[in-house]
Amino acid sequence: MKKTILSLAMVLAAGVLFAQKKTTTSAVINFDATTPIDALPKAENKTVIASLDTKSGTVAFEAAIKSFTFSNPKIQEHFNNKGWMDSDQFATATFKGSITNLKSVKFNKDGTYPVDITGDLTMHGITKTIDAKGFITVRGKLIVANSEFTVKLEDYKVNGGAIAAGKVSKEPTIKVVAEFN
Amino acid sequence: MKRYKKWLIGLGILLLAGAAVIYYLFTLKYDDTATVKADYTVDAINFIKEFKQDMAAANKKYSEKIIVVNGTVSAIEMADTTANIKMIDTTNGAYIIFAFQQQHLGEAKTIKEGEQVSIKGSCSNGAFSSILEAEYITFKRCAVNK
């Protein structure tokens, strides 16, 4: 009986230790839509939910649009209103995709591995497939995933007056960093 | 000539006023949350319950409002540029997460798990996470409420 309980406990412990789906609720996304004539439209969201499955290579994130913090309250207001992200109606941006070269990442060996990611990015109620480059860094039990890519705002029907006036970049840079312990 | 001068002075005043308004808008900053009066003071678990009961109504009531949340710290998530504090309803996994204002980041790093705290911040909104299969409420520009 004791042996059975011990075996069961070991199996459960192994399951926890080597869980393949890792999650965090403190991933960070930086959004940079600055232009030569306006340095204000850039923001940071530090409470992004992200997941990484080290076996299947699936990656995902969910970001609340209202959690993007700008330094300037007016820009934040514009970002959330109907002309931009319309965050009352489209409250989150999501990404669901996978690492296509997963075999080149050794999760049991420290190092930095370049990765190719493809998946569906949904924002402003519109879903588009995107491809992005990134890196997975393994340091002991810590796995850090990061990626940087651009999006065309017109693909997501985000086209406020400030974009046409050149104050907001038509193709902002999105930088995602997620640390999984 | 006098009339011409008057027009020039008027135009100058208009330009100056316009420049002042543009300068004001471009240099506008958020106030330190610690000094801002709160719209609501709530208990963390009851707050989560309110969102779980009616997410749309709770978002309408609390989104972008300054709120003081009293509760027990369940987790501290340290990352490169951030230290987020979480209060979790352990009965269902729903949680509140607080991202701190830059000048108050040091306060977040001193908080311990299990500690009773009072945090003031701007409530972004509540939503359901399909990754975690739980409700969550995010706060930004937070400070320890003293």
Which tokens is A172 given? 């902002």
Quick: pLDDT tens for B55-90: 999 999 999 999 999 999 999 998 767 889 999 999
Nearest to B125 among A26, A66, A71 (CB): A66
At B19, is the pLDDT very low, low, confident or very high (cuts 50, 70, 90)? confident
Q: Cβ B99–A67 below 8 Å, yes or no?
A: yes
Return the pLDDT at B57.
97
**Is pLDDT of B7 > 80?**
yes
Nearest to B84 among A26, A62, A74 (CB): A26
Q: Work out the average pLDDT over B4-28.
A: 81
Question: Which residues in chain B are closer than 8 Å to A25, comparing Cβ atoms?
Answer: 77, 84, 86, 95, 97, 132, 136
At A16, is the pLDDT very low, low, confident or very high (cuts 50, 70, 90)? very low
Does B25 reach chain A within 8 Å, measured CB to CB?
A: yes
Domain boundaries, chain B: 1-30, 33-144
* Closest CA relative to residue B140, chosen from B90, B112, B104, B115: B104
Q: Are A63 and B131 in contact (CB under 8 A)?
A: no
Tell which wins on pLDDT, A174 or B11.
A174
Shortest Cα distance from A2 to chain B (angstroms)?
30
Q: What is the CATH number of domain B33-144?
A: 2.40.50.140
Q: Tell me the C-alpha distance between B25 and A134, whole Å.
A: 37
Question: Which residues in chain A are closer than 8 Å to B77, comparing Cβ atoms?
Answer: 24-26
Does B32 reach chain A within 8 Å, measured CB to CB?
A: no
pTM, full prediction: 0.87
Tell which wins on pLDDT, A180 or B20.
A180
Quote the ipTM score. Answer: 0.86
Return the pLDDT at A5.
55
Return the pLDDT at A15.
46
Strands ordered across the beta sheet of B75-78: B40-43, B66-72, B116-129, B134-144, B95-100, B83-88, B75-78
SS3 call for B133: coil
At A1, is the pLDDT very low, low, confident or very high (cuts 50, 70, 90)? low
CATH architecture of A20-180: Beta Barrel (2.40)
Return the pLDDT at A19.
61
Burial class (CB in 10 A: 0-12, 13-18, 19+), A50: buried
**Is pLDDT of A148 > 80?**
yes
Q: Tell me the C-alpha distance between A43 and A69, whole Å.
A: 5
Does A74 reach chain B within 8 Å, measured CB to CB?
A: yes
